[in-house]
Amino acid sequence: MALVWVLVAVLPALASADTGGGFPGLSIAEVPDWLRTIPRWAFVLAFVLLPALGFPITLFYLTVSAVFPKPMLALAVALACMTANMALSYVSARLLSRPIDRLLHRRGYPLPQLTAGAEWRAIVLLRASPLPWLMQSWLLTLGGARFLPYMLVGAPVQALVGAGLVLVGESLFQGNALWLLVGVTAILLGQAALGGLRRRLRGGSSAY
């Protein structure tokens, strides 16, 4: 029943916002109040489940502060949900890896398999890339990434970007220019650090 509520109520509203059309029947100024009416358990459930189905995780980063107004709490919830979603995506892809691998082989498109030395490089490169979140998770899992490196290396990389977006959302919903400055600075610094790391890693060998 909870999943039905999330899919019927939360997904259509957030999806319409992603296309720039606003939330159905609401003005832009009313969006924060509407988000605050969502039960916290439902928002958390949606955050954990929907990105594993292809829904943009960025929207959850930007809106979590409306449901959890305290900045540190919003950050903690966002990073916990992101981590849980990573694990869920890994398990889902692993369960479907054999039939997908057989299908790709029949069509002549086998996925490269990660070697132990290239594993962490591929995780960083994909998690720091602009590819959709779900695609990153599936490419890593189908490529043979082990669960612990997938989580221990991938989560901190994504946290650099996610934390900045949470703080930007905080500034939008709370009207606090300081959080906007902090959030944008965190995003810029994180992107610069990840960009430098990507350039260095591309100088080495990688399966991707």
CA distance 73 to 54: 25
Q: Enumerate the H helices of 50-146 as residue ranges.
A: 57-67, 71-106, 116-127, 133-142
pLDDT of 56 higher than 80: yes
Going 85 to 191 to 19 to 27, the CA torsion angle's sign is: positive
User: pLDDT (tens digit, 9 = 90+) per residue, 136-168?
Assistant: 998 888 888 899 999 998 898 888 888 888 887
Query: What is residue 87's predicted lDDT score, i.e. its pLDDT?
Result: 95
- For 147-183, the DSSP string reads HHHHHHHHHHHHHHHHHHHHHHHHHHHHT-HHHHHHH
Of 16 and 54, more confident: 54
**Which of 35, 84, 71 is closest to 166 using CA atoms?**
71
Are 42 and 5 within 8 A, CB to CB?
A: yes
pLDDT-above-70 percentage for the chain: 64
User: pLDDT (tens digit, 9 = 90+) per residue, 13-42?
Assistant: 444 444 444 455 555 567 677 888 889 999
Residues with Cβ within 8 Å of residue 166, at least 6 apart in sequence: 61, 62, 64, 65, 71, 74, 75, 78, 183
User: pLDDT (tens digit, 9 = 90+) per residue, 64-87?
Assistant: 988 998 888 999 999 999 999 999
* pTM summary value: 0.71
